[in-house]
Amino acid sequence: MIENSFSILFYLKASKTKGQKERHVYARITVGHKRVELSTKMTCNPSEWNSVAGRANGKSEKAKMLNSLLDSYQMKIHQARKQLMDLDKDLTAESIKNTLIGKSEDRKLILEIFETHNKEMEALVGKEFAPGTMERYRTSLEHTRSFIRWKYGKDDMELKYLDYEFISQYSFWLRTVRGCAHNTTVKYLSNFKKIVLNCVKIGWLQRDPFMGFKMVKREVRREILTKEELQKISEKEFTIQRMAQVRDVFLFCCYTGLAYIDVKNLNRNQIIFGIDGEKWIEAKRKKTDSPIRLPLLPKALEIMDKYKDHPKCSAENTVLPVLSNQKMNSYLKEISDLCEINKELTSHIARHTFATTVTLGNGVPIETVSKMLGHSSLKQTQHYAKILDIKISEDMAKLKKKLSFDDG
């Protein structure tokens, strides 16, 4: 940046009101050959003004007060100039004036920046981002919009006002007004933090407002089915065909780790012969668009074979006749009652059961399980190993009880 000549001059400007003795004190800022003028909102009698010094004459309290205020105003002009230099912005008389009065030429708004981020992200869905991730950022934007309206009564806010208090209040709003659970609150704040950190990197924000703000997810205890519970569900006889059908779909998820939407969308073309000559599933997770490649276990093959001639499967080229999620959950509640299992049966518990009881619990390496689940990182799979620690603890408690009886 080329350093231009810079000067500040305070002078009196005649009032438009006739007969008024006092005149307004103006500041003239000159950079290079261009200058701007702006009112200091102060006044002085011409007889008490020193035009050479650009200050009031005399040692009266009024003169001292005016000169002190003008010194402060001059300091603000220097600070505005330094701010522009630090940000490597164009240093002009106009830009100094705009910085001084708080008028930014490139005024940044929080929601505008968030919307731009989401539009760019949308263009990369299917390439770098999954549809589910995009949906989370859309929801996060709407939550941020609602919070700003609730807290500040505005449709948007300038980025420069983003601080620790904003983040703290946003967290409070998510947990109270929106009624979000702790981990859900952390998830939405993490989405917003990504936008904020981008602004810090670009230089639009001088410091990270999240600095010092704790965002730690709490460990969630995930329910799983034991080997005995799986067997109980598998061997249960159902007189209602649809209930037996729902049970089979649920068990298929337990032996493949597929989520509800993935088993619903699973078509016969996605059943292939793998490297070992056996049948595999080759598909993509709807939620993350990550690949799924896994060999089918005998139990899953039995269920598939059972429905190979089912009219719905033949007509739609699907592997299983999957009902709507609402109907599935309704029937699964009845199944858990009939099988006397005191756990809520869902597609989530089926996926967790595959990861623990079916695979990790039988010695399948965590890296292999991670790939079969379609996880993008091993970290996503590691919490299943923690669930197994709980199972080990329960089993050891049973063993201790048994040994105490033997000793007796």
Q: What confidence tens digit (pLDDT) does each residue in 161-206 have? A: 899 999 999 999 999 999 999 999 999 999 999 999 999 998 888 8
The token duo for 107 is 């005024």
By residue count, the chain amounts to: 408
pLDDT of residue 1: 45
> Does residue 258 contact residue 266 with C-beta atoms inside 8 Å?
yes
pLDDT beneath 50: ranges in the chain = 1-2
In order of 251, 303, 320, the CA distances from 298 in angstroms are: 12, 9, 16
pLDDT of residue 379: 79
**From CA 171, how far away is CA 188, in angstroms rounded?**
9
HSE-up of 169 (CA within 13 Å, CB side)? Answer: 13
> Does residue 22 contact residue 29 with C-beta atoms inside 8 Å?
no
- Edge-first strand order for the sheet with 34-44 is 6-13, 23-31, 34-44
The token duo for 171 is 């967290």
pLDDT of residue 3: 58
Q: Which domains does the chain have, with CATH numbers?
A: 6-100 (no CATH), 110-202 (1.10.150), 227-399 (1.10.443.10)
pLDDT of residue 371: 85
How would you classify the pairing of strands 291-295 and 279-284? Answer: antiparallel
Which of 363-371's residues contact partners 24+ apart within 8 Å by CB, and which partners? 371/293, 371/294
Closest CA to 230 of 262, 213, 212, 252: 252
**From CA 301, how far away is CA 275, in angstroms rounded?**
17
**From CA 333, how far away is CA 351, in angstroms rounded?**
17
Q: Which amino acid is at 169?
A: Q
In order of 181, 250, 265, 341, 386, the CA distances from 228 in angstroms are: 33, 16, 29, 10, 20
The token duo for 188 is 């939405």
The token duo for 394 is 């329960």
